[in-house]
Structure 1
Amino acid sequence: MAVGKMAETLQAPLATDTAPSSSAQEKCDHSPDVSKLHDPEAATLGKSVSTEPLQPEPPFPEGGLQAWLVVFGAWAGLFAGLGITNTIAVFQSYISTHQLADYSESSIGWIFSLYTFLAFFCGIYIGPIFDKYGPRWLIATGVVCVVAAQMLFSICTEYWHFILVFGVLNGTGCSLLFTPCLASVGHFFRERRGFATGLASAGGSIGGIVAPLMLNSLFSNPSLGWDWGIRIYGFLCLGLLSLALIFVRSRLPPKENASIHPDPKIFKQKPFLYTTIAVFLMEFALFIPIGYISSYARAQGFSESFSFYILTIMNAGSFFGRVLPGWYADRIGAFNTNTIATFLSITACFVIWLPFGHTKPGIIVFAIVIGIAGGTNISITPVCISRLCPTESYGRYYATCFSVVSIACLIGIPIGGSIIGACDGDYWALIVFTGILYVLSFVMFLVAKSASVGWRLLAVY
C-alpha cells in the first residue's frame, strides 16, 4: 500500500503571554521566531517570544502556472512512490501464499518494514541535499532505482531477493522521491500550503486505489501473472516519475554554504521534538492496518479478491482524507487537523474494527474511516513540520523528523506479525495495540501544540 501532504517566518509576532485578540475567533500565527530556532533557551515557544516585528520571508506565489505544475509533478511522483507504499498489503498477501509460503508473517513483514524504514530514514541526508542543491538529481536517481526495483521484483523467488530488491533498492529509490516532491510544494505556497500539499499527496491515494485493482486483474490473467503484472506496473511508474522529473522544481536558490549533514540540535526545539514523537507513534500505528488489512480480511474468511478490494476502499478513503482536510487545515490549523484525525483513528480502532471487523460491513466501514484519518495524517504532517522552521530549511526538518519515524516503520509490521503469532492467528491484540498507539499519538500532538501556544485548545494552530 500504500502514505509522507509532509517554516515559515512570521508575518506578525507570536507571544503566548499576551491576551488574545478581541476577534470572535482566537487565532495564532504558525511559525516561531526564525532567529531563535537554534537557540536552546528560546526554542520552547511556550516561553517568552520576542514581540518585536520579524523580517518576513519573500512573498510566496500561492498559485500560478509554475506553482501548480510543481503540484502536478509532485502528484505524479507520489502516485508512483506512495502508491507502492500504499500497496504493500497486496504484495505481502500475495507472496505469503506463493513465493514465500513457507515463511512466517513476521519474517515476510521484515521485507516491507525494511522498505518503509529506508524510504523515510534515507531522508536524513536527502532533506539537507534538497535544501542545498534542489530536487532535480535526487528525483532522477530515484526514478532509476524505483523502476529497476519493479523490474527485478518481478523475478524474485528467494527471501533474500525480496529483501535486497524491494526492501533496499525500492526503499532507497522512494526515499529519493518523497522529500523533494513534498518540500518543493512548500516553496510555492504558504497560506494555501495545506491544500496544495493535500492535492500533491493525494497522488499516493490514487496510486493505492489503482494499483490493487490493476495488480489483481493482472495476477489473475493466466497469460500475464505475477511476472508481467509487476513489470507493467513498473512501466506505469516510469511514465509517472518522468512527469515528476520534468515538473518538480524548487523556488528558492540553492544554499551553497549549507551543510548536507544532519543537525540533531534542532531537537532542542521542544515543539519539533514533541511533534516528532507524535508522528512516530502515529506512523507506528498507521502502518499496521496498511500492512495487515488484506491479511486480516483473508483470516476472517473473505475471498482473495475482497482482500485486494478492501485495500482499494481504504485508499479511496485516504484520497478524501488528503484533499479535503488540506483545505480546512489552512483555516483551523494543521496541528488541530492532525489531532482531530488521530482521534478519529482511535474511534475507528476501538469502536469499529475491534467489535465489528469480522463482518463485511464492519471491515468496509473501518477501511473508509481509517483511510480518511490516515490520509489526513499523511498529508497534514508535512504542513505541521513546516510551521516549525523557515522554508529554506524545510527539507532538513521534514527529513530529520521522518528519519526518526522510519524506526517505527521498521519495527511496526514485524511486531504486528509477532502479536498475531502470539495470539494463534487472532487479530484482537493487534487491534488493541494499534488503538493504544493512536491514543499516545493524540496526547503528544496536544503536548506539541501546547509547547507553541500554551494550553489553549481553541487556538488556531
Structure 2
Amino acid sequence: MLHEKTTISPDVQPGLTPPRPDTITDDQELHERSSQGITDKYAKYVGGTPDGGLKAWSVIVASMLTTFCSLGYVNSTWGIFQDYYERVLLPDESPSTIAWIGSVQIAFIFLPGLITGRLFDLGHFKIPYFAASCGLIVCTFLTAECKHYWQFFLVQGLFTGLFSGIIYAPAVSVVSHWFSKKKGMALGIVSIGSSLGGILFPIAGQNLLPLVGFKWTVRTFGLMILIALGIANLTIDRRLPPANVQDGLLNLTAFRNPAYTIYCISGMACFLGLYTALTYLPLSATAVGVSTNFSFYLVAIANAASGFGRLSAGLLADQLGPLNAMIPFTSLAGILTFAWPYASSQRELIAISLIYGFASGTYVSLFVAPPMAMGDVGDVGRRMGMFMTIAALGTLAGPPISGAINAWTGGFKDPGFYAGGSLLCCFSRYRRIRALLVVPVCFRRHVNAQCDILLTVAGGIVMFSVLLLFVVRYLHLGQLCGKC
C-alpha cells in the first residue's frame, strides 16, 4: 500500500525512502518510490494508468515496430555488413576500421536520448518521430548507393544511427504513460520487435545478397522499414500532458541518487561487451570451418532465442522486479562470452548462440525499466536520455576495441575475455544497485553478505585487469588514430 503524499526535504531525493519492513519485492519498492515522486499535476493521470485497452496495446505495437526498425535493423544486421564489407566492398580496410561504422551506428541510437528525452517531456513527440522516420528510410536507401568508406561511415554509421536514436528513446519512454503494473510485460513485448528484426533482416540479407546483390538487398531493407514505420506513425501516441520541468536538458540532481548513478555506469560497462559476440559470431564461425552461408544464421538463431528471453524477462520482472530478473541472466551472458571463442564446431556455436541470445535478451528487454522508476514520471524522458547517453559511450567503444584486439592477436579468445569481463563487471554493479534500492528485509536474511562482497571484488578485479590489458597491449593511441 502506498504512503500518503508527504513533503520531501531537499536532502531526500524523489524515489529514495527509508527501508520498510513490509517491503516484498524490488519492483514494488521502485513503484512506490516513483509514486511518491509524482507531482500533483500527474497524480490523477498516473492513478488511471490503463494497463491495457485498444489504445494502449496499439501504442505497444507501434513501439515494437520502432524497435524492429531501429535496434532490430542496426544491431542485428551489422554482422552481415561487417563480413561483406571485409570480403567484398572494403577489402583494403582493417576489421577495426570497418567496425567503427557499426559502433557509431549503435552508439547514435542512444546518444540522442539526452535531447529526445527532454523534447518528449515537453510534449514534442509526433513531429520529431515522423521526421526521423523519414530520415531513416532515406538513409537506408542511400546506403545502397555508397561505394567508399567515408560514405558508409556518414550515411550508414552516423545518420542511420542518429535517426534510429531519435525514434527509439521516445518509443520506449512512452510505455510508462500507458502501463504501470504490467510495465515489465509491455517492455518485453516492445523489445521483441528488435528480435524479430534480428531474425528477418539477417535471413533476408543472407538469401538476397547472392541473388540480387548488395544494392537491392539494402533497398529491400528500406521497403521493410518504410512499411513498419508507416504503421507506427499512425498508432503511436503519448497520454500524459507535457511537463515544464526545470534544469534544461540535464537533471543533475538525479545523480544524487546513488542507485541511478551506479546504474548508468554499469550500463556503459555492459554495452562495452554486449555486442561483441553478435558482431563477430559469423566471422568466428567461418574461422573454425563453418560454411559462410550457415554462419549468418547463427545471428538469426541468437535473436530468435533473444525474443523468448525478452518476453520471459518481462513477465518475470513483473513478479520479482527488473533488477532481480536482470542479475542472473547478465552474469550468464558474461560467462557465455568467455566460452564463445572456444566453440570449435557448428553444434557448439548453435548452443552458444541459443543460450547467449536468451541471456542477453533479458538485459535488452529490461535495461530501460529501472531508470523509469527512479523519480517522477513527468521527468522520465530526461532520466532515460541521460542514461542512454552514458551507455552510448560503451556501444561506441565496444566493437572497435574488440576489432582491434582481434586484429592484434589474430583470434577471438582475447576479445571474448574483454567483453565477458565487461559484462561481469556490470553484473557486480547490479547487485550493489539492488542493495541501494532497499532489498526486502525478508530476503536480506537469506543473503550471504560475504559472497556479495566477493562477487563485487571479483568483478572489479576482472574489469581492472581487462583495463590494464586494454591500455598496455591493445589500445596504442597512435594506431587507433591512424585507423579512425
Which digits, 9 at most, give the CA deviation of each residue in 1:185-234, with x for residues without a partner? 1210011000001101100100110001111111110xx21001100110
What are the residue-to-residue correspondences of 1:232-243 with 2, within 5 Å? 232-243=220-231
Alignment root-mean-square deviation, CA: 2.3
Distance (Å, rounded) in 2 between the aligned partners of 1:335 and 1:257: 28
Q: 1:137 to 1:306 in 2, by over 3 A?
A: same
Are 2:76 and 1:74 aligned? no
Aligned residue for 1:444, secondary structure, equals helix
Q: 1:382 to 1:107 in 2, by over 3 A?
A: same
How big is the shift at 1:267? 1.6
How big is the shift at 1:279? 1.4
Identify the residue that residue 387 of structure 2 maps to in structure 1. 401
Identify the residue that residue 29 of structure 1 maps to in structure 2. 29
Distance (Å, rounded) in 1 between the aligned partners of 2:78 and 2:252: 31
Alignment check: 8 A CA contact 2:329 2:363 kept: yes
Are 2:438 and 1:453 aligned? yes
Moved over 6 A (4+): 35-38
Alignment match of 2:340 (pick from 344, 353, 360): 353
Distance (Å, rounded) in 1 between the aligned partners of 2:385 and 2:414: 32
What are the residue-to-residue correspondences of 1:107-126 with 2, within 5 Å? 107-126=97-116
Q: 1:392 to 1:37 in 2, by over 3 A?
A: closer
Which digits, 9 at most, give the CA deviation of each residue in 1:100-119, with x for residues without a partner? 11111100011111111211
Alignment check: 8 A CA contact 1:343 1:438 kept: yes
| More off after superposition, 134-143 vs 117-126 | 134-143
Identify the residue that residue 77 of structure 2 maps to in structure 1. 87
Which digits, 9 at most, give the CA deviation of each residue in 1:392-424, with x for residues without a partner? 21111111101001111111011001111121x
Identify the residue that residue 161 of structure 1 maps to in structure 2. 151
How big is the shift at 1:12? 4.0
Identify the residue that residue 45 of structure 1 maps to in structure 2. none
Are 2:96 and 1:106 aligned? yes
Alignment check: 8 A CA contact 1:32 1:388 kept: no
What percentage of aligned pairs have identical amino acids? 26
How big is the shift at 1:374? 1.2
Alignment check: 8 A CA contact 1:109 1:413 kept: yes
How big is the shift at 1:334? 0.3
Aligned residue for 2:122, secondary structure, equals helix
Identify the residue that residue 321 of structure 1 maps to in structure 2. 309
Alignment match of 1:333 (pick from 321, 325, 335): 321
AA in 2 matched with 1:349 = T
Distance (Å, rounded) in 2 between the aligned partners of 1:26 and 1:115: 34
Q: 1:456 to 1:344 in 2, by over 3 A?
A: farther
How big is the shift at 1:340? 1.5
Identify the residue that residue 2 of structure 2 maps to in structure 1. 11
Distance (Å, rounded) in 1 between the aligned partners of 2:202 and 2:310: 19
Distance (Å, rounded) in 2 between the aligned partners of 1:318 and 1:170: 23
Aligned residue for 1:142, secondary structure, equals helix
What are the residue-to-residue correspondences of 1:253-402 with 2, within 5 Å? 253-256=241-244, 260-350=248-338, 352-355=339-342, 357-402=343-388
Q: If the length of structure 1 is used for normalisation, what is the TM-score?
A: 0.88
Alignment match of 1:440 (pick from 425, 429, 438): 425
Q: What runs of 5+ residues in structure 2 fail to find an aligned partner?
A: 5-15, 445-484
Distance (Å, rounded) in 2 between the aligned partners of 1:226 and 1:297: 22
Q: 1:19 to 1:172 in 2, by over 3 A?
A: same
Q: 1:128 to 1:117 in 2, by over 3 A?
A: same
Distance (Å, rounded) in 2 between the aligned partners of 1:457 and 1:123: 38
Alignment check: 8 A CA contact 2:26 2:439 kept: no
Which digits, 9 at most, give the CA deviation of each residue in 1:108-139, with x for residues without a partner? 01111111121111111111101112421121
What are the residue-to-residue correspondences of 1:125-136 with 2, within 5 Å? 125-136=115-126
How big is the shift at 1:428? 0.7
Q: If the length of structure 2 is used for normalisation, what is the TM-score?
A: 0.84
Identify the residue that residue 51 of structure 2 maps to in structure 1. 62
Distance (Å, rounded) in 2 between the aligned partners of 1:154 and 1:18: 58
Which digits, 9 at most, give the CA deviation of each residue in 1:323-374, with x for residues without a partner? 1110111001101111121122133234x4244x122111111111111111
Distance (Å, rounded) in 1 between the aligned partners of 2:219 and 2:277: 26
Aligned residue for 1:266, secondary structure, equals helix
Alignment check: 8 A CA contact 2:243 2:379 kept: no
AA in 2 matched with 1:286 = L
Distance (Å, rounded) in 2 between the aligned partners of 1:82 and 1:26: 28
Alignment check: 8 A CA contact 2:29 2:438 kept: no
Q: What runs of 5+ residues in structure 1 fail to find an aligned partner?
A: 1-9, 39-53
- More helix, by proportion: 2
Q: 1:300 to 1:329 in 2, by over 3 A?
A: same
Q: 1:37 to 1:272 in 2, by over 3 A?
A: farther
Q: 1:400 to 1:26 in 2, by over 3 A?
A: closer
Alignment check: 8 A CA contact 2:26 2:320 kept: no
How big is the shift at 1:20? 4.0
AA in 1 matched with 2:320 = I
Alignment check: 8 A CA contact 2:35 2:376 kept: no
AA in 2 matched with 1:353 = W
Alignment check: 8 A CA contact 1:76 1:244 kept: yes
How big is the shift at 1:15? 5.0
Alignment match of 1:193 (pick from 172, 179, 183): 183
Identify the residue that residue 216 of structure 2 maps to in structure 1. 228
AA in 1 matched with 2:359 = A
Q: 1:200 to 1:156 in 2, by over 3 A?
A: same
Are 2:157 and 1:151 aligned? no
Identify the residue that residue 172 of structure 2 maps to in structure 1. 182
